[in-house]
Amino acid sequence: MLVDYYEGRPIDPECLEKLHKPAQRLLEKKDMDDEDKLELLYGIETQFTHSQDKTEYQ
């Protein structure tokens, strides 16, 4: 959902309020601009995808 938000897609503000704490912290983080946050989220998504691929082969 945060990726969608930072890519500019409309997100219900109520949904953003219900995010888990780590996601809320990223959303509220003022020392990073939105582009850096999006890059971080892409990196996390990539790591998650690769770790899932590895588990499927074991």
User: What is residue 10's predicted lDDT score, i.e. its pLDDT?
Assistant: 96
The 10 Å CB-count burial string (b at 16+, else e) for 2-41 is: beebbeeeeeeeeeeeebeeeeeebeeeeeeeeeebbeeb
Q: What is the pTM of this model?
A: 0.73
All structural domains of the chain with their residue ranges: 2-57
Q: Helix %, strand %, coil % for the chain, to 5?
A: 70, 0, 30
**pLDDT 10s digits, 1-48:** 999 999 999 999 999 999 999 999 999 999 999 999 999 999 999 988
Is the pLDDT confidence value at 58 over 70?
Answer: no
Is the pLDDT confidence value at 52 over 90?
Answer: no
User: What is residue 20's predicted lDDT score, i.e. its pLDDT?
Assistant: 94
